[in-house]
Amino acid sequence: MGSKKHTLRVWLQACASQVLLVPLGSWAAPANRGESLFLWPSLQYCQQRLDWLPDIVVGAMGYSSLEQQRQIRERLGRTMLTKLRSDMNLVPPFEPGPVAVCPQGQVLSWLGWEARDQLHWFGVTAAEPLCAQCWEQSRCARQFSYAPAAHEILFGQIPLASAVAKTLLEKVRPWIEPAQAYEKNQLGPNQMFRNSLQFTWAACLLADAAVLLRAHAMLMRPTHTPWLQALLPNQLPLELD
């Protein structure tokens, strides 16, 4: 049976020239183990061993469940973002997209998360809303609150309908593919003759170490320039024309 390497990576924003993802922790497991087994242990590992947790974790659908999302929000105070599974139903105020709408159909924008009350606030921010024609206009505050417990994946701490969540899921999540391809094809744990899970573990963690060393070389390269740099001779172009 083959194996899988489950890795939680963090985006190091200090590297401005390119997207730099470094592994926080990895798990080598037989390929038939479900992905949902690895999210919570990865976060626990970060909290206990690194004393640090990413604020937002973006992952594939298989990594999370409603119950696990609730645990991450309530116990760790962190956000897990994942696409909605096809077997999950939308709940109000969401419509397919997902897009948040008021009971009369006006599109709502996410205004923010009120941590004290544990409530999400949505409101009308469109330039030309339908509210002027709405029969409930006189008694509508144009702001609506929802508890994340109504649907942990749709709401969470960052609702799926928000621009932040859409950017993270559609633009940031694909960054993981080049990182995986580099590890798999160039570092070559795939080409090793892995005849035991123990050896697979070693190959996976060694690949993580190689990626971390590359990150060190990129971010922490010596920037020292000699004091006499300006006085050093330079070769002048020789004009022969």
Partner 1 sequence: MKFELAPTGTATLLEQLSDFIPDGFINELVAVRGGRGRRRHWPSAQLYRLLLLTLLTPAHSFNLMLHLLPEQRSWRKFAHVPNRYRLPVASPLHDFRAALGVAGWRRVNQFLLAPLLETLSPDRQAVGLIDATDLPAATSADKKS
Q: Which of residues 190-209 bind partner 1 (CB under 8 A)?
A: 190-195, 198, 200-209
Rg (CA), the chain: 24
Does 172 engage in binding with partner 1 (CB under 8 A)? yes
Residues 113-141 as b or e (16 or more Cβ within 10 Å = b): beeeeeebbbbbeeeeeeeeebeeeeebe
User: Among residues 147, 150, 163, 212, which is the contact residue for partner 1, using CB under 8 A?
Assistant: 212
Q: Residues 204, 210: contact at Cβ < 8 Å?
A: no
By beta-carbon proximity to partner 1, the closer residue of 93 and 189 is: 189
- Beta strands at 143-146 and 94-95: parallel, antiparallel or unpaired: unpaired
Q: Which stretch binds partner 1 (CB under 8 A): 119-127, 133-141, 211-219, 231-239?
A: 211-219
By beta-carbon proximity to partner 1, the closer residue of 93 and 159 is: 159
By beta-carbon proximity to partner 1, the closer residue of 52 and 135 is: 52
DSSP state letters, 204-232: HHHHHHHHHHHHHHHHS------TTGGGS
User: Among residues 84, 134, 140, 218, which is the contact residue for partner 1, using CB under 8 A?
Assistant: 218
Residue 163 is given by DSSP the state H
Q: Residues 76, 57: contact at Cβ < 8 Å?
A: no
User: Among residues 93, 98, 156, 189, which is the contact residue for partner 1, using CB under 8 A?
Assistant: 189
Site string for partner 1, 8-37 (x = CB under 8 A): xxxxxxx--x---xxxxx--x--x---x--
Hey, which residues between 142 and 171 contact partner 1 (CB under 8 A)? 168
By beta-carbon proximity to partner 1, the closer residue of 55 and 241 is: 55
Nearest to 204 by CA among 11, 9, 27: 27
How far apart are CB 40 and partner 1 at their closest, in Å? 11
By beta-carbon proximity to partner 1, the closer residue of 130 and 201 is: 201
Question: CA-to-CA distance for 110 and 155, rounded, in angstroms?
Answer: 10
